[in-house]
């Protein structure tokens, strides 16, 4: 069975992430979306909140599973039997870090390869950080996050 793992911070999940999830779920039999820790970013939403938001926006996609783990991605992938990582690329600026992470993950787990999917062009400029910045300053984020979580994310950002 073809299993792919889409890791990320998802703080919070955006329409850009959902676009990648839908594309990857159409390619792979089972897509595991995992909220992982990124020590380079401080998260606003707890891992449990991010998992709950992801579950809500993917509930109609039967082959998607949501999970979270605090360990190294390479180890988590090995434990789950995943040999393919899915990453979304928005622009060339994403490439350098993603390329580095792909090579490091394969060094740590030689079974693990990374495939890159390009986001739809309407999501090129989107990031969780920019959604948090706009929302925390009272801006309308309804264009950037899925409708079923928009009110909850807006409320959290305004706190
Ligand atoms: O959405 P992000 O923040 O760009 O995702 C980055 C993430 C969470 C995938 C990355 O930081 C990660 O893999 N974290 C888990 C810990 C780990 O394995 N770090 C080494 C990566 S080479």
Active site residue 93: no
Share of the chain above pLDDT 70, in %: 99
Which residue's CA lies nearest to atom 19 of ligand 1? 72
CB 84 within 8 A of CB 28: yes
- Alpha carbon of 114 to ligand 1 centroid (Å): 13
Ligand 1: residues with CB < 6 A are: 7-9, 36-38, 41, 72-74, 101, 104-105
Catalytic residue among 87, 90, 123, 132: 90
Question: 101: CA distance to ligand 1 center in Å?
Answer: 8
| 3-class DSSP state of 119 | coil
Q: What are phi and psi of 74, to 5 degrees?
A: -60, -35
> What residue ranges define each of the domains in the chain, with the CATH number in brackets?
3-123 (3.40.50.620)
User: Separation of 3 CA from ligand 1 center, angstroms?
Assistant: 19
Which tens digits make up the pLDDT trace of 18-75?
999 999 999 999 999 999 999 999 999 999 999 999 999 999 999 999 999 999 999 9
Active-site annotation holds for 41: yes
pLDDT in tens, 108-123: 999 999 999 999 899 9
- Determine which one of 41, 59, 155, 158 is catalytic: 41
pLDDT at 1: 66
């Amino acid at each position: 069975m073809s299993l792919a793992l889409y890791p990320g911070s998802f703080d919070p999940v955006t329409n850009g992430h959902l676009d990648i999830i839908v594309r990857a779920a159409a390619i792979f039999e089972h897509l595991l979306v995992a909220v992982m820790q990124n020590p380079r970013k401080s998260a606003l939403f707890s891992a449990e909140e991010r998992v709950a938001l992801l579950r809500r926006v993917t509930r109609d996609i039967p082959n998607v599973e949501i999970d979270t783990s605090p360990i190294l991605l390479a180890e988590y992938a090995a434990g789950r039997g995943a040999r393919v990582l899915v990453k979304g690329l928005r622009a060339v600026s994403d490439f350098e870090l993603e390329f580095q992470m792909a090579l490091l993950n394969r060094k740590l787990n030689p079974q693990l390869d990374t495939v890159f999917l390009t986001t739809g062009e309407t999501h090129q400029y989107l990031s969780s950080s920019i959604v948090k910045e706009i929302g925390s300053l009272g801006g309308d984020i309804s264009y950037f996050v899925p409708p079923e979580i928009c009110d909850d994310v807006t409320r959290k950002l305004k706190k």
